[in-house]
A and B are shown apart, each in its own frame.
Chain A
Amino acid sequence: MSALGKGMGMIRRVMALALLLLPLAFLASTSAHASARKTADGKVTRASGRCGSCHPDERVAFEKSRHAGEEMHCTSCHGGNDQTVDEAAAHSGPNWRGKITRAEDPKICASCHSDETRMQPYDLPVDQYDLYQTSGHGKGLAKGDGKVAVCSDCHGSHEVLSAHDPSSRTYVTNIPRTCGTCHGDSTLVRERKLKDTYHEYLGSVHAKSLFDKGNLKAPTCVSCHGVHGASPSDIRNVNKVCGRCHTAERRYFQAGPHAAAMAAKQMAECSSCHGDHGIAPSETARLATSCVKCHAKGSKDEVLGATLLATYQAAEDEIRKAEALVAKADAVPLRTEDYKARIEEAHTYLREALTAAHAVSPEGMSGYTERAKSVGEEIQEELKSKLQNITVEKIFLLVFWFYVIVTIGIIRRFRDADAEVVK
């Protein structure tokens, strides 16, 4: 037993020593990991080579970027030699470029990003540079305007991240702010006589959907203006651009009288009523209120708008009444699942009616409002009769009381049966 005890003591001591050494081993391993890997011939294999010795901030930004992991080095853009810390040696060589100017920025990016052979493995498009040339930004740059956006303004210079990375400036929820860096800059927009479209957008229903509801499919700047070929939409194209998502609205609009008339007068179709960047949520009241923006007050066109609104509201009213009855039936409770489904259906018709209203034709819209209305009326009728069935219980109550009173009468006779006996 004692031999075994000695053995155990020995094991304990060794384990204690190992535990003491553990932190040291950990430190050693992490410091080895942190330092740049060197090959046998002393070459530094990290993306930033030895440049970080003098440019630590750029090194940190670059090492985090999407480029750093993809065989890109400082020298890929800036040229020079990244294996030396001697300034003269590092900043020299046949391809030494040094600081990149705004004017040459797109060309340098394009040297890889327009190369199909290089981009194919990443499944990236190669037309960005060509698109950029067609954009307002690209045209401005070509004219020597030094303030227009170049690649690095939106993507970052050293810290380029994938558009799928939520911390990237080009991630969908960050795009408005990225464009807003210039298009929301009050000094810059005043100088260039532009609209502050960024802040307008922030108040729009699109921005609410994107930011408040987290709908990543909600339109941002690039959804309408294009990504690299960024350009303002032509007035004649507004309905086409909006119609990319609002297909049904565009179809009805083109069937209506407004399409041809507005095209003839060079008016922006959708945005005349809805606004452009600060698009407001669709309000049914606008069926009547937006007409007088162009048409005279009291004109037959204003009356037409009022008719549309009245038709819509009549249907909405019936549905609301039906909903109130469903709530009443729910409190009893009756089975209301079917009614709820039908009310949902009626709401769909109502929604469709608003879309159909873009043709500005009461006949076209009433097809939907009438259907919504009749569903509402049917539900009301059915529920009213079901709720009335409950009154039958009240009639039974009278019968019940009759029997109670009769029973009490019988008991009273039984009660007084022994009156004389006790006396």
Chain B
Amino acid sequence: MSTLPKAAPATSRWDRAIDWVDDRVNLSELFSFLTHFGLIYTPIDTKRPLRDVLHQVRTTPLESYARWPHILGLLTALLFGLEAVSGILLAFYYQPTTLSAYDSTRSIVRDVMLGWLVHHVHMWGSYLLCGVVLVRMLRLFWDGLYKAPREILWFSAVGLAWLVIQLDFTGLLLPWDVKSYWAAQRGLEIVWSLPIVGPLFSTLVGGRTMSEDVLNRFYVLHIIVLPLMYLGFVYLTFATMRRVGLSRIAGAVPKLTTFRRHVSDLIVITLLLFAGLVTLATLMPYQFHGAADPYQTPKGTLPPWYMLAPYALFQLPIPRWIPGLGLLAVALALPFLPAIVKGAGERLDEKRLRMAGLGVFGLWLVLSVLGALVDRK
């Protein structure tokens, strides 16, 4: 222990208290672990005492990412944090059985103090998270941020997008409301139509149709499995960023700021985000449509919005596995975009690639609109 470097002499009772704990627990290591999920990205020597580390952190100028367009990455982590907190509160009351799911959700909104706020904030948070993740992917693509050395950043961005969609899909079913139930049922039918993956996934979640098993497994996926994977990808994103740095327009000089300002900005953004969610939750609350009835499909039942494009494709008069295979190919190719682009040739025409990407996105939008119109006859 004596070989460890000593911190500057303690000047206050607070410093002495920190030193007392630091002599017994490696606080620097703990701090370093926390910063792995964002906050700062100054290299930290975990062998040094915490007070030294903190001093170093405070005095080293850093490039803040609480600014557009880097804020998109930050929001994917912040919103996830808010979803996690509100989700845990909801899990205190929610009962994942077909008999009590709907009533327990209603009871959260109606009877639990501020339950409505937590529930609606959780719902709006998921909408925002979907949007943020999608915009972030588009932005990374548009600015070519999948090229070396940022391949892993792109990979984790796609991973986050997939996880958000799965989190939304599994969460959608949980209220067991008639609308969400049938949307999830339509979604499950689409997943089932994907070759190989479909049957595998459907078997994993307990069948092709909604049941107690499916509800339970969706719940476990929603609150344990998928969030842990999401956390892994958030870590990967920040770990990559600590190595390759923030993206910047070629030739631009990095704008440095202090740690204090950076943290203040983070707090302000979190506060604004929370206030925005509270506002949305109050002005546009979730609407209940009645408990799900497996024997009655309501009119105008559609899958969730991110599945509208496949839904439109599946209306074509060809075997479903053909569009299914196409979708699967696109989904699997997306994270490996850097490798594919690299293989295409030494010098790639960035403009043409952008246009191709835009074309695919446009096609997806058109298909989604068509999918939304399928049942309006």
A408-B271 contact in complex given A331-B288, A394-B283, A397-B282, C-beta closer than 8 Å: yes
> Which has the most chain B C-beta neighbours within 10 Å: A331, A333, A334, A411?
A333
Shortest CB-to-CB span from A403 to chain B, Å, is 9
Shortest CB-to-CB span from B103 to chain A, Å, is 10
Q: Is the interface of A mostly helix, strand, loop or mixed?
A: helix
Indicate if the CB atoms of A412 and B264 lie closer than 8 Å: yes
A394-B282 contact in complex given A331-B288, A333-B288, C-beta closer than 8 Å: yes
Shortest CB-to-CB span from A62 to chain B, Å, is 45
Indicate if the CB atoms of A408 and B61 lie closer than 8 Å: no
A145 within 8 A of B: no
Q: How far is the CA of A256 from the CA of B292 in the complex (A)?
A: 48
Indicate if the CB atoms of A330 and B258 lie closer than 8 Å: no
Residues of A within 8 Å of B109, CB to CB, are 332-333
Kindly identify which residue among B61, B106, B260, B275 contacts A401, using a CB–CB cutoff of 8 Å: B275
Shortest CB-to-CB span from B266 to chain A, Å, is 10
A13 within 8 A of B: no
A414 within 8 A of B: yes
Residues of A within 8 Å of B106, CB to CB, are 333
Indicate if the CB atoms of A400 and B61 lie closer than 8 Å: no
A334-B282 contact in complex given A412-B264, A412-B268, A415-B264, C-beta closer than 8 Å: no
Residue of A nearest to B258 (CB): A422
Interface string of B253-264 (1 = CB under 8 A from A): 000001011001
Shortest CB-to-CB span from A411 to chain B, Å, is 5
B289 within 8 A of A: yes
Residues of A within 8 Å of B227, CB to CB, are none
Question: What size tier do the contact residues of chain B reach?
Answer: 20 to 34
Question: What size tier do the contact residues of chain A reach?
Answer: 20 to 34
Indicate if the CB atoms of A333 and B271 lie closer than 8 Å: no
A400-B283 contact in complex given A414-B264, A422-B258, C-beta closer than 8 Å: no
Residues of A within 8 Å of B267, CB to CB, are 411
Residues of B within 8 Å of A101, CB to CB, are none
Kindly identify which residue among A331, A332, A394, A404 contacts B272, using a CB–CB cutoff of 8 Å: A404
Kindly identify which residue among B260, B271, B279 contacts A417, using a CB–CB cutoff of 8 Å: B260
Indicate if the CB atoms of A415 and B272 lie closer than 8 Å: no
Interface string of B281-298 (1 = CB under 8 A from A): 011010111100000000
Indicate if the CB atoms of A330 and B264 lie closer than 8 Å: no
A407 within 8 A of B: yes
Q: How far is the CA of A417 from the CA of B263 in the complex (A)?
A: 13
Residues of B within 8 Å of A335, CB to CB, are 110
Q: How far is the CA of A366 from the CA of B258 in the complex (A)?
A: 80
Shortest CB-to-CB span from A49 to chain B, Å, is 55
Residues of A within 8 Å of B290, CB to CB, are 330
Indicate if the CB atoms of A397 and B279 lie closer than 8 Å: yes
B63 within 8 A of A: no
Interface string of A383-423 (1 = CB under 8 A from B): 00000000001100100110010011001101111100110
Indicate if the CB atoms of A333 and B110 lie closer than 8 Å: yes
Residues of A within 8 Å of B61, CB to CB, are 422
Residues of B within 8 Å of A401, CB to CB, are 275, 279
Indicate if the CB atoms of A404 and B275 lie closer than 8 Å: yes
List residues of B (177-215) whose CB comes within 8 Å of A's CBs.
Answer: none
Interface string of A45-73 (1 = CB under 8 A from B): 00000000000000000000000000000
Shortest CB-to-CB span from B353 to chain A, Å, is 41
Shortest CB-to-CB span from A407 to chain B, Å, is 6
Shortest CB-to-CB span from A414 to chain B, Å, is 6
Q: How far is the CA of A19 from the CA of B336 in the complex (A)?
A: 68
Q: How far is the CA of A404 from the CA of B268 in the complex (A)?
A: 9
Indicate if the CB atoms of B275 and A332 lie closer than 8 Å: no
Indicate if the CB atoms of B260 and A408 lie closer than 8 Å: no
Indicate if the CB atoms of A418 and B285 lie closer than 8 Å: no
Indicate if the CB atoms of B271 and A415 lie closer than 8 Å: no
Residues of A within 8 Å of B272, CB to CB, are 404, 408
List residues of B (227-285) whose CB comes within 8 Å of A's CBs.
Answer: 258, 260-261, 264-265, 267-268, 271-272, 275, 278-279, 282-283, 285
Residues of B within 8 Å of A417, CB to CB, are 260
Q: How far is the CA of A407 from the CA of B274 in the complex (A)?
A: 13
Indicate if the CB atoms of A400 and B278 lie closer than 8 Å: yes
Shortest CB-to-CB span from A330 to chain B, Å, is 6
Indicate if the CB atoms of A397 and B260 lie closer than 8 Å: no
Indicate if the CB atoms of B282 and A393 lie closer than 8 Å: yes
Indicate if the CB atoms of A334 and B110 lie closer than 8 Å: yes
Indicate if the CB atoms of B268 and A408 lie closer than 8 Å: yes
Q: How far is the CA of A407 from the CA of B265 in the complex (A)?
A: 12
Residue of B nearest to A394 (CB): B282
Residues of B within 8 Å of A393, CB to CB, are 282
Q: How far is the CA of A411 from the CA of B265 in the complex (A)?
A: 9
Residues of A within 8 Å of B258, CB to CB, are 418, 421-422
Indicate if the CB atoms of A331 and B268 lie closer than 8 Å: no
Kindly identify which residue among A331, A400, A415 contacts B260, using a CB–CB cutoff of 8 Å: A415
Shortest CB-to-CB span from B15 to chain A, Å, is 19
Report B's interface with A, CB cutoff 8 A: 61, 106, 109-110, 258, 260-261, 264-265, 267-268, 271-272, 275, 278-279, 282-283, 285, 287-290
List, sorted by A's number, 25 A–B pairs whose CB atoms are closer than 8 Å: A330-B290, A331-B287, A332-B109, A332-B287, A333-B106, A333-B109, A334-B110, A393-B282, A397-B278, A397-B279, A397-B283, A401-B275, A404-B271, A407-B271, A408-B272, A411-B268, A412-B264, A412-B268, A414-B260, A414-B264, A415-B264, A415-B265, A418-B260, A422-B61, A422-B258
- The 10 nearest A-B residue pairs measured at CB: A415-B264, A331-B287, A404-B275, A422-B258, A333-B106, A331-B288, A397-B282, A333-B288, A415-B261, A418-B260
